[in-house]
Structure 1
Amino acid sequence: MAFENPSREHIKEMLAGAGNIAVVGLSDKPDRTSYMVAEAMQKRGYRIIPVNPNAETILGEKSYASLKDIPEPVDIVNVFRRSEHTPPVAEEAAAIHAKVLWLQLGIFNDEAAEIAQRSGLEVIMDRCIKVEDAVLNPRNV
């Protein structure tokens, strides 16, 4: 059976219930898409937790080497890694009991989706979290 993203209404509910969003592959360079998306989400009120082993802080938040190093609950794992590198991220997301594995626009991996779904995570692939939030939760920022 082919993968299907959750309905827009369900994605809206996921975003509404999200506290902490761990961003895997978040760059500390302001001209990178991951930085721009995470910064926009932070400005919209979401707590961003950077996951980048090569940075100490990004967007004013402590950066962690991996998901398992984050000392607090994570609701959404937002991934900016190439598709072939996502299965291990899905395994880590499952291990920390995240609620959602979100692969950014252009990122799609059936194996990662299966790993996450087997562990009870919701999965969204090939969608931009910033765009979805702006469309589903319009508000002035």
Structure 2
Amino acid sequence: MPVESDAELRDVLGQETIAVVGCSATPGKDAHEIPEYLREHGYEVVPVNPYADEIFGREPYDSLTEVEEEIDVVDVFRPSEEVSGIVDQVLERDDVDIVWLQLGIRDDEAGERVEESGRRFVQDHCMKVEHGRLMD
């Protein structure tokens, strides 16, 4: 079952390093503003976007497989139909504990695969909204 309870969400939000797949270099877009909010609240944000040259003053990675840092959470800002492939990349890593799909993004089958691997899965929730509601 995907993470739903406030206690579980608080625990997930207690992590430190978040790789943001689909992180945008464009201010005003949710995929830029939400990771910026997370950075402002002390999270280490690792941008993943093969089409951007720089996000938050650093070069983004092209894919999760290239990320060198240890990742706690993968936050997904990509269409639902891309989630399965992103989960494939997550499952190749040993460090990722949680996959979080932003508001409006769902993939039950991919979520089952995440959970079967012993990791936690959040879908169709905004990380900024939940952080503001539960952590501030």
**Cα contact 1:20–1:74 (8 A) shared by 2:** yes
TM-score (norm 2): 0.94
Same amino acid, percent of matched pairs: 36
Q: Which contiguous aligned blocks of 4+ residues in structure 1 show a shift greater than 3 angstroms?
A: none
Counterpart amino acid of residue 49 in structure 2: N
Any unmatched runs of 5+ in structure 2? none
Larger RCO (alpha carbons 8 Å, 6+ apart): 2
Q: 1:106 aligns with which of 58, 83, 104?
A: 104
Counterpart amino acid of residue 74 in structure 1: I
Partner of 2:132: 134
Structure 2 Cα separation of the partners of residues 130 and 48 of structure 1: 13
Instruction: Give the drift of 1:63.
Output: 0.5
**Cα contact 1:87–1:115 (8 A) shared by 2:** no
- 1:46-125 correspondence runs (5 A): 46-97=43-94, 98-125=96-123
Any unmatched runs of 5+ in structure 1? none
Deviation sequence 1:17-66 (CA, Å, 0-9, x none): x1110000111111211100000010011010000011232012330000
